[in-house]
Amino acid sequence: MSAPLKCALLALNSVGYQSLALGYLRAYAQADRRLAGKVGFQTLDLTVDMDPWWVAWRVLGLEPDVLAVSVTCWNARAVFDVCRIVGRVRPECVIVLGGPEVGPIAAETMTANPSVHAVVRGEGEAAFADLLHAFATGGKAWRVDGVTAIKGDEIVSAPDRALIADLDSIPSPYLTGTMPLIDGGSYLETYRGCPHRCAYCFEGKGYGRIRSFSDVRIAAEIEMLAAAPTIRSFSFIDPVFNLTADRIAMFAAVLAPLAEKGLRLHTVEVDIERIDDESAELLRVAGVASVETGPQTIGAAALEICHRPFHADRFARGIASLRRQGIQVECDLILGLPGDDVFDFLAGLRAVLSLDPGMIQSSTLRVLPGTELWERASEIGLSFDPEPPHEVIATSTATFRDLRRAEVMAVAYQNEYRARL
């Protein structure tokens, strides 16, 4: 009997965080009976500020047969460096990438990074397990649905893979002990998909319709986190926490007893135009300390291009309701959206400031692979950096210099606002 494949799972995260994606991949693969005894796993949850050479040092120390890396626009440059170094030192190691930065442009990624052997496209759990099975049994990677891989001298994409219908079939990384619990750095996912179709975002387009984990599964994960003596706060990564009134009521019921003991939720994303006094109170009861929301822009042309609604009165009402409950609101704005000029952006900043939400965060548009803006960039006059994180360089309505000026202004205004008693 041959030795099990050694699979290293690598993520380069923001400081203080760990990769939920790797947790899912590992929990799913470990539960796959076909892989039992054939594949062993080790997870390297490192930070994006690490020198890629030292990341490679850590990876190579594991002597992996397979290196699987989760790639986002934020860590892509570092990941590609790591892959190049690992590929040179250990050419027998099969390097597999996945994640939103590479899935939509799998073949291009592999062409630009010859050390990469395969890319998992879209939802990764089932495809990655099948891919490992192929590696362990001498199968062909390019035949695995949802995978783009090398076939001889070619790069071949197998058909797309259907989404997992029953999310509960993915074992919980927390309940299985696959992921450690980190105070403030642990977060839960209760559904996949997004009700919105914002042109700059991959979330809705990548995952299609909304699929939920069961209430029982969600409650079990919450209770496990709450029972950990080191956990005082955690978060949810759902794109819209207040998806329905029923969900808020469910969360309030589950979380209220825990909130009374001091457990807090931070930075959950909400559709603020659906927040009224009643739902704001439920969020407070659930222990929500802070929420994150748009508007991203208030410019009419940009809203239309990006398919985003914005009703100033409802937005203001939502913020006021949350503030009355003592919940801090972080309002996000995006600079450089098509249709906006810098004056529109500043108008948005002014409008948000006037509502005194507690926190304002602006960022420059990143034109992400797989998004509508990526596909329509030429048509709508978006010029962006082809290298990740794909920051916008200029638009048909905002010059390069004005965008850079507005970036500086936005940061200055945010800091001036944050300095308060």
Per CB under 8 A, contacts with other proteins among 324-353 are 341-344, 346-347, 349-351, 353
Report d(CA 64, CA 68) in Å as an integer.
10
Min CB(393)–other proteins separation in Å: 16
6 near other proteins, judged by CB under 8 A = no
Binding segment (CB under 8 A) for other proteins, from list 64-72, 125-133, 225-233, 409-417: 409-417
Min CB(348)–other proteins separation in Å: 10
Report d(CA 200, CA 296) in Å as an integer.
11
- Compose the 213-232 pattern: x for residues touching other proteins by CB under 8 A, - for all others: --------------------
Min CB(414)–other proteins separation in Å: 10
If the CB atoms of residues 190 and 290 are measured against other proteins, the closer one turns out to be 290
Report d(CA 368, CA 111) in Å as an integer.
18
If the CB atoms of residues 100 and 339 are measured against other proteins, the closer one turns out to be 339
Opening angle at CA 182, ends 178 and 185, nearest 5 = 105
Report d(CA 116, CA 130) in Å as an integer.
18
Report d(CA 115, CA 118) in Å as an integer.
9
Min CB(59)–other proteins separation in Å: 35
Backbone angles phi, psi at 32, to 5 degrees: -80, 115
* Count of residues engaged in binding other proteins, rule: CB under 8 A: 29
405 near other proteins, judged by CB under 8 A = yes
Min CB(249)–other proteins separation in Å: 32
If the CB atoms of residues 5 and 409 are measured against other proteins, the closer one turns out to be 409
Which of 354, 378, 379, 386 contacts other proteins by CB under 8 A?
354
Binding segment (CB under 8 A) for other proteins, from list 88-96, 133-141, 268-276, 354-362: 354-362
- Compose the 385-404 pattern: x for residues touching other proteins by CB under 8 A, - for all others: -----------------x-x
421 near other proteins, judged by CB under 8 A = yes
Own/partner pairs, 266-269, CB within 8 angstroms, 24+ separation: 266/184, 266/233, 266/234, 266/235, 266/290, 267/235, 267/291, 267/292, 267/330, 268/235, 268/236, 268/238, 268/241, 268/292, 269/236, 269/238, 269/239, 269/240, 269/241, 269/293
Distances (CA, A) of 345 to 374, 381, 400: 21, 18, 14
If the CB atoms of residues 143 and 323 are measured against other proteins, the closer one turns out to be 323
169 near other proteins, judged by CB under 8 A = no
Binding segment (CB under 8 A) for other proteins, from list 192-200, 212-220, 230-238, 405-413: 405-413
The tokens 């190691």 sit on which residue? 93
Nearest to 234, CA basis, from 216, 255, 213: 255
If the CB atoms of residues 130 and 344 are measured against other proteins, the closer one turns out to be 344
Per CB under 8 A, contacts with other proteins among 83-112 are none
Q: Give the sheet arrangement for strand 39-47, strand by strand.
A: 39-47, 5-13, 66-70, 94-98, 118-120, 147-151, 154-157
Q: What sign does the dihedral 367-371-377-381 (CA atoms) show? A: negative
If the CB atoms of residues 232 and 401 are measured against other proteins, the closer one turns out to be 401
Report the half-sphere exposure of 339 (CA within 13 A, side-chain side).
17
What angle, rounded to 10 degrees, do the helices at 342-354 and 400-418 form?
10
If the CB atoms of residues 189 and 344 are measured against other proteins, the closer one turns out to be 344
Nearest to 369, CA basis, from 97, 9, 48: 97
Which of 69, 355, 367, 373 contacts other proteins by CB under 8 A?
355
If the CB atoms of residues 2 and 354 are measured against other proteins, the closer one turns out to be 354
361 near other proteins, judged by CB under 8 A = no
Whether cis (ω within 30° of 0) applies to the bond prior to 389 is yes
197 near other proteins, judged by CB under 8 A = no
Residues found near other proteins in the complex (CB under 8 A): 341-344, 346-347, 349-351, 353-356, 402, 404-406, 408-409, 411-413, 415-421
